[in-house]
Structure 1
Amino acid sequence: MSTDLPKLGRPSRRDLLIGGAMAATAGLSWARAPRHRIASIAPGGLEKVVPLKIGPWHYEPASGIVLPPPDALAKLLYDQQISRSYVADNELPIMLVAAYGSSQGGALQVHRPEICYPASGFRLTDTRLHPLTVRPGDALPARFFTATSDTRTEQVLYWTRIGDVLPTSWTQQRLAIMRNNLVGEIPDGLLLRVSTIHTDEAYATRALERFCRDLLADAGRDGRRKLVGPAYA
């Protein structure tokens, strides 16, 4: 029995064409892969962006308000997170959660509260678009829902920022990331959520709106750019 190894012939013209096309595709994919990361908040900077005093409210570390526990997914998605409670005379107490991810893409992108609340045992109303007037004639595209558990009813207002835009759905969020990727950029992302425990939706909503307007006013122009992007700064 012969033990000679088969001799390798010269590649055919077809092999060369296919190989060349594959190499060109790989090179084009490498060349167009997004590399420029846009991180608007430096490491450790999120705590400084959100003021400790917001309008009549002030940060109260021992307020007794039960803040939502951090979840494992959030630790993977975000570089920075803060959870605070704010209190004021003659105002409802407000819970604030802000989460920032310096790199948005694929599965690693800001996850919306409609996911984490049910995972914590809450029943949610339909989430609806809730334009938040930040100045005359200018409304920020926030969203609102009511979350109910066996122990409390929580009114929730939030927005997300991807790069310079404020998407109001998963689809808009993914499109915002894709648009940045097409020009070679990796956008950052931020979720800002405020909530209060109260059964009267209208009354609670007005308090949340006042808090958000005061937050954006007290954050200053640079802080507003980081929280809501340049269009609302």
Structure 2
Amino acid sequence: MPKTRDHNSLPSSNIPLGRRAVMGGILALASGIAYARQPKVSMPVLTKASFEDLVPGPFGNWQVISDGEVVLPPPDALRDRLYDNLVTRAYQAEGTPPIMALLAYNNQQDGVLQVHRPEVCYPVGGFQLSATERIDVPLEKGSVPANIFTAEAPGRIEQVMYFTRLGTAFPRSWLEQRIAVINANLAGDIPDGILMRVSVIGINQERAKPMLEQFTRAFISASPSRLQKLLVG
């Protein structure tokens, strides 16, 4: 029986040269578009020393007293990458309890590597949390979306306020954080991300809230312009 030729498997040599050139151009164009649309890191890496230098020491009525008993994120395989830049300090002004501050920054936040939210690390440290309240912290110009909650453990009650910035967004939940990363990726960026968390021990939330807001506003105002940009864009 004579062999029949499968017309769907004609050798490329049978395709006219002009058509092959057109097909090659189309494939090259598609590859170029795909490459151009790949998200790219929008911010350069910031060294640990450079980041620490940006964080204010004494400012206004506030003095640095120690790193304090700051609750750090739970250890895991990704922590060192999640927190390339991590600074913890405790500040105190006359007549006020110490305020603990934590700043964590990474120049790229993707679907895997993202800052831990305090609602995750505090329970791992043995704390029971109240419901999280959404607030807007007033700044000298505008305000920043933030969260506040109470964390309780035996012998310790801590009022915790924090905000996160990812790219141009200020997500207040894990879902909003994921959406912020996706939106940035669709716009062609791998966004940077920062967490600022402030907390105070031994007082109720009613008293702590204005104190933490005032501290945050003063801290950002006292920060160099580069840190201000990292914190609030």
The question of 1:34 aligning with 2:39 is answered yes
Assess if the C-alpha contact under 8 Å between 1:94 and 1:194 holds in 2.
yes
Conserved in 2, the CA contact under 8 Å of 1:128 and 1:145?
yes
- Would you say 1:51 and 2:60 are equivalent positions? no
Per-residue CA deviation, residues 23-74 of structure 1 (Å, 9 max, x unaligned), is 89x9465442212432484553221222011331111227xx3222453243
Q: CA deviation at 1:122?
A: 0.3
- Which residue of structure 2 lines up, in the alignment, with residue 223 of structure 1? 227
1:108 to 113, 122, 125: 113
Check if 1:68 corresponds to 2:64. Answer: no
Q: Cα gap change, 1:30/1:91 in structure 2, threshold over 3 Å: closer, same or farther? A: same
* Mapped pair 1:208 → 2:212: yes
Q: Percent identity?
A: 36
Q: Which has the larger radius of gyration?
A: 2
**Distance of 1:127 and 1:113 partners within structure 2:** 10
In structure 1, the residue corresponding to 2:200 is in which secondary structure?
A: strand
TM-score (norm 2): 0.80
Amino acid at match of 1:12: N
Matches within 5 A, 1:126-205: 126-135=131-140, 138-205=142-209
Q: How far apart are 1:207 and its partner, in Å?
A: 1.5
**For residue 15 of structure 2, what is the aligned residue in structure 1?**
none
Secondary structure of the 2:147 match is strand
Shift in Å, 1:220: 3.9
Q: Distance in 2 between the 1:135 and 1:174 partners?
A: 29
Structure 1: stretches of 5+ with no match in the other structure: 1-8
Please name the residue that 1:12 is paired with.
Answer: 8
Contact 1:61 1:85 in 2 (8 A): yes
TM-score, normalization: structure 1?
0.80
Q: Letter of the aligned partner of 1:111 in structure 2?
A: H
SS in 1 for 2:91: strand
